[in-house]
Amino acid sequence: MFTSLPQFVSHLKDQGKLLVVEREVDPRFELNAVIRKIQAGPNLPVLFERVGGSRFPVLSNTLGNYSIVSGLLGVEIGRAAARWSELTRPDQRDTDQHFPPESSAWEEISLLDLPQIVYCEKDAGPYITAGVVIAKDPDNEVVNLSYHRMQIIGGNELRGRLSTSGDLYRIHQRAEARGEGLPVAIAIGMAPALMLAAGTTVGPDRTEYDLAARIAGKRLPLVPSPRLGVPVPAATEILLEGVILAGERRPEGPFGEWMDYYVPITNNHVFDIQHVYARKGAMYYSISAGSVEEQVMLALPMAGTIYTNVRTWVPSILDVSCFPYMQYCVLQIRKQFEGQAQKAILTAFGAELNHVLFCVVVDEDVNIHDWYDILWAMGTRCRPDRGIFQIPGVPSFMRDPHQIHWGRLGIDATKPLAHAVDFERKRTPGIEEVRWQDYVRPKRSVAAQ
């Protein structure tokens, strides 16, 4: 597996799965516009070789393709949720946090040397969107990794929101209660296993480094950060060191967040950045908020959690998808009795109480990674007056002041077992092997004639 981001980029290039932008792009809006266009088209990783105002190339969308991410887990796309469930089983726990004897050569730079990317029209300014904050819990020495958006205020200050349900918030609260700031490192650009692991929650007594080791198939080398001694990946592209201040909140935002709406200005945490380092020839990493890349990184852990829980009550579950929108969950089951779909729906809602609002259950002959197929199943197998049910009054995530995202909706789009023979899908033998391009002669241009 891949121990660094450049190693993975080289692999993508060899496989013809890396798009390269050679012309210079403006970090204000243009770069994000190109990312979004690529994601709506070929949806491949993209490297911007020249970004205005910075010497660092920018890489994005490396984890935005579900098939590429499934490949990192060593499985086909239809097995990704099950594989994530296996990787995160409690009996997979690994508490070995030794630091292998590694060295890492970074040069010191300024925060303002980084690409100053502004993503959306009303964003307050440039943001770091792919920074993984690394902090050690002083009570149990467990190292926590988590993503947080961070607004660049100047040469030594970032501002960002720590989710009240996150481990970093809890760790900082305890330091703050003692009147102390929390020492942190912020890693930008790591091995893909680390980037995937940092996007999930493994619990306060476990570290995402262990999960990354299971994804990669081996432990990835760590080193103490140069000044603060926070354990960080040795192959990190760009590294920041600083302190999350105690008792200090300052205005941050607005910013175009994951639901493609702006979050308003709020008083959020302050990062006092003391040192910034870059590896020789480093790449800067950028995640377009709310894009398919963020959705994949969040949806895969959700799907794995739901798969684990549903399997307890519906052992015939085959696959789970929460992509391309985390508000939707689709379950693929091998239906054995009427009512089984409803049991699966209730379990899925109980497994993920923050984001999933709509849950659809389909049969094994429906591709849950193709929304055309899902909608076909809903339109041809769901009886609306019986197959749809609401659960009113269930709150969703914390930042929902208007209660728009309350309640849940379940949809049974499975075929009735008593008449299953009438719901056999038609098929054309050989269609999988046929390429239409082999049958159509390209039309000759007028000039050629």
Q: Clarify whether residues 301 and 259 are in a common domain.
A: no
* 104 assigned to some structural domain: yes
* 161 assigned to some structural domain: yes
Q: Average pLDDT in the 365-377 region?
A: 96
pLDDT, tens digit (0-9, with 9 covering 90-100), for 218-228: 999 999 999 99
* 3 assigned to some structural domain: no
Q: Clarify whether residues 332 and 267 are in a common domain.
A: no
In the chain, the percentage of residues whose pLDDT exceeds 90 is 83
Q: Clarify whether residues 259 and 111 are in a common domain.
A: yes
pLDDT of 350 > 90? The answer is yes
pLDDT, tens digit (0-9, with 9 covering 90-100), for 269-281: 999 999 999 999 9
pLDDT of 64 > 80? The answer is yes
Would you place residue 139 in the very low, low, confident or very high pLDDT band (cuts 50, 70, 90)? confident
* 375 assigned to some structural domain: yes
Cβ–Cβ < 8 Å for 23, 48: no
pLDDT of 251 > 50? The answer is yes
With residue 340 as reference, give the H or E element that holds it: helix 340-351
140, burial (CB in 10 Å: exposed 0-12, middle 13-18, buried 19+): exposed
Q: Among all chains, which residue has been given the structure tokens 């491949």?
A: 44
* 14 assigned to some structural domain: no
Domain that holds residue 342: 293-423
pLDDT of 89 > 90? The answer is no
Domain final position from 228, 259, 282: 282
pLDDT at 99: 46
Q: Clarify whether residues 375 and 244 are in a common domain.
A: no
Helix, strand or coil for residue 120? coil
Measured distance CA(32)–CA(260) in Å, rounded: 13
Which has the higher per-residue pLDDT, 229 or 91?
229
pLDDT of 92 > 70? The answer is no
Q: Clarify whether residues 263 and 299 are in a common domain.
A: no
Q: Clarify whether residues 106 and 183 are in a common domain.
A: yes
pLDDT of 192 > 50? The answer is yes
pLDDT of 293 > 50? The answer is yes
* 322 assigned to some structural domain: yes
Q: Clarify whether residues 231 and 359 are in a common domain.
A: no
Q: Which of 364, 284, 296, 353 is nearest to 331 (CA)?
A: 364
Q: Which of 111, 106, 269, 107 is nearest to 182 (CA)?
A: 269
Residue 358 sits in a domain whose CATH number is 3.40.1670.10
Q: Clarify whether residues 108 and 257 are in a common domain.
A: yes
pLDDT of 94 > 80? The answer is no
Q: How many structural domains compose the chain?
A: 2
Measured distance CA(306)–CA(134) in Å, rounded: 27
Q: Across the chain, what does the average pLDDT equal? A: 92
Residue 176 sits in a domain whose CATH number is 2.30.110.10
Q: Which of 415, 397, 393 is nearest to 406 (CA)?
A: 393
Q: Clarify whether residues 399 and 268 are in a common domain.
A: no
Would you place residue 103 in the very low, low, confident or very high pLDDT band (cuts 50, 70, 90)? low
Q: Average pLDDT in the 42-48 region?
A: 97
pLDDT of 323 > 70? The answer is yes
* 83 assigned to some structural domain: no
pLDDT of 360 > 50? The answer is yes
Would you place residue 405 in the very low, low, confident or very high pLDDT band (cuts 50, 70, 90)? confident
pTM above 0.85, yes or no: yes
pLDDT at 445: 56
Q: Average pLDDT in the 2-22 region?
A: 96
Q: Clarify whether residues 173 and 201 are in a common domain.
A: yes
Q: Clarify whether residues 197 and 303 are in a common domain.
A: no
Helix, strand or coil for residue 197? helix
Measured distance CA(439)–CA(311) in Å, rounded: 45
pLDDT at 436: 87
In the chain, the percentage of residues whose pLDDT exceeds 70 is 95
Task: Output the six-digit token pair for 150.
Answer: 């961070």
**CB under 8 A, 24+ apart: contacts of 44-48:** 44/12, 44/17, 44/18, 44/19, 45/9, 45/12, 45/17, 45/18, 45/19, 46/18, 46/19, 46/20, 46/21, 47/9, 47/18, 47/19, 47/20, 47/21, 47/283, 48/21
pLDDT of 216 > 50? The answer is yes
pLDDT of 172 > 60? The answer is yes
* 71 assigned to some structural domain: no
Q: Average pLDDT in the 322-347 region?
A: 95
Measured distance CA(345)–CA(412) in Å, rounded: 8
Q: Clarify whether residues 167 and 208 are in a common domain.
A: yes
Would you place residue 234 in the very low, low, confident or very high pLDDT band (cuts 50, 70, 90)? very high
pLDDT at 442: 73
Measured distance CA(328)–CA(405) in Å, rounded: 12
pLDDT of 389 > 60? The answer is yes
